[in-house]
Amino acid sequence: MKTMKILKDDHLFKLTTLPNILSFHRIVKKISFFYYAFMLQLFVVDVLVIIFTNQYHLMLTRYSDFGGAFFLGLTNYITLYHRNYVQMYWSTYYETFPNLWPLHHVSDVDYTRFQRLAKRAVIVSLIMAIGTTIAATAALPWYGNEYDVYFPVKVAVDYLKNWKLHIYLFLFYSLLYHGGFTIISNLYCLMYIVLHLYNQFCMMNAKLKMLSEFQEGEQNVVTQELLSCIKLHQHLLGFSRRINSMLYYPIFYYSVSGVITALSLFLYPIVTLGDLCRMIFTGIVATFSTAGICFLGQLLENESEKTFISAYATKWYLWNRKNKMLLQIFLSMTQKKTVISSSGIITINYRLLIGLYRTIYPFLMFLIHISNTF
């Protein structure tokens, strides 16, 4: 199944192009499953090598990012290619989007604002794709003895010879690009559904502000508008619950892999120019990706909070009793803000950045103390 356009004025639909190619095209999907299996094989073999050769000390060297990279890659591959997650995404899309308001519900000013938001999202997606390509290229061995940049490459060089080694290295370095595009495909899907949820809250807030313009004799019109807002808000609550259900485990694994990757960047020894470039590009891509996800979550949270304020600011004192009761019901529904979280433990907003810092810093000090001791 392929993601088809449901909303007519869906300016964000370009964000689904890459995920459609990677996860829904028959041939490319088989290639993706091959890389998925290849990555799992890498981890199992390398862990066995570490255990049986007693090389645990390598995890405090340039290979410290091995665990974080695996968790990050595994989370993204499962999220984009696993049948359960794909079906959850399809059901969320095809069952929720038909109930959303089209953009012609808003004024020309708001419509133009949504268009600008969509253009910015597309530009950001292109920058992410370019940055991921540069980061994957920077991870390649450039010269000299840089063949063992990654632990899987070191294992391959130690145990494989001739044509087997060349095939293995080709698959590994091509995995860097495929894994990178898998990661940004997940980010594209998240941007697509969260920005649509944000747009719906924006349209509902604009509709609530328009209710103050109706005259006292237009009570039936107010009733219809309130009922439509209540109905949309129920759909949006279901939409957000589906998103949180779909991202329950991925958010947790993303956070864990982010902490491990950040620690590995701090501990990464800079010996050559290639080491410096890898650390810089990886740090830039990881920082902007994390900040972008937190920005999306905070944007949605802020707009959902405005719903209660917009509803309470209406001229409800001019309405009849029925409309006042409808408004009271709506206000009770909007008191809880809409957030993207993993069971409330990890919430995607700006506070997540502070939480990651508070987690990374003590671990970093502990590892530095251990390395100085031994």
Per-residue pLDDT of 4-13, as tens digits, reads: 777 777 888 8
CA torsion angle 367 370 371 373 (round to 10): 160
pLDDT band for position 145 (50/70/90)?
A: low
Token pair for residue 176? Answer: 């860097």
What average pLDDT does this structure show over 103-126?
A: 82
pLDDT value at residue 60: 63
Per-residue pLDDT, 267:
66
pLDDT of residue 21: 80
Which distant-in-sequence residues (6+ apart) come within 8 Å of 65 by Cβ? 260, 261, 264, 265, 268, 282
Position 364 scores a pLDDT of 61
| Alpha-helical runs (H) found in 82-107 | 83-96
What are the pLDDT digits (tens) for 326-358? 888 888 888 877 877 765 566 676 666 666 666
Q: How would you classify the pairing of strands 346-347 and 341-342?
A: antiparallel
> How far apart, in Å, are the Cα atoms of 271 and each of 40, 155, 206, 246, 277?
30, 21, 56, 42, 11
Exposure of 206 by Cβ count < 10 A (0-12 exposed, 13-18 middle, 19+ buried)? middle
Tens of pLDDT, residue by residue over 277-291, are 767 777 777 777 777
Q: How many residues does this entry show for the chain?
A: 374
Query: Residue 83: which pLDDT band, with cuts at 50, 70 and 90?
Result: confident
| Cα Rg of the chain (Å, integer) | 25
Above 70 in pLDDT, residue 16?
Answer: yes
The Cα–Cα gap between 361 and 83 comes to: 37
pTM for this prediction: 0.83
Res 1: pLDDT:
56
Quote the CA–CA distance of 142 and 366 in Å, as a whole number: 33
Rounded Cα distance, 349 and 296, in Å: 7
What's the Cα-to-Cα distance from 41 to each of 63, 74, 83, rounded to whole Å?
18, 12, 20
Cβ atoms within 10 Å of 241's Cβ, excluding its own: 12
The answer to whether 188 and 129 have CB atoms below 8 angstroms apart is no
Q: Rounded to whole angstroms, how far apart are CA atoms 219 and 326?
A: 12
Question: Residues near 275 by Cβ (< 8 Å), separated by ≥ 6?
Answer: 62, 268, 269
In this prediction, residue 17 carries a pLDDT of: 82
d(CA 283, CA 277): 10
Q: What is the C-alpha separation between 198 and 190, in angstroms, rounded? A: 12
- At 167, which amino acid appears? I
Least confident of 80-94, 223-237, 250-264: 250-264
Mean pLDDT of the chain: 79
Report the phi/psi class of residue 348: left, alpha or beta, with left for phi > 0 and alpha for psi in -120 to 50.
beta
Q: Which of 228-237, 274-283, 310-319, 335-344 has the highest mean pLDDT?
A: 228-237
Of 182, 177, 180, 196, the C-alpha closest to 121 is 196
Distance CA 80, CA 182 (A): 7
Dihedral angle sign, alpha carbons of residues 294, 299, 300, 305: positive
Beta strands in the chain (DSSP E): 341-342, 346-347
Contact 100/152 with Cβ under 8 angstroms?
no
pLDDT of residue 78: 82
Q: Is the pLDDT of residue 96 over 70?
A: yes
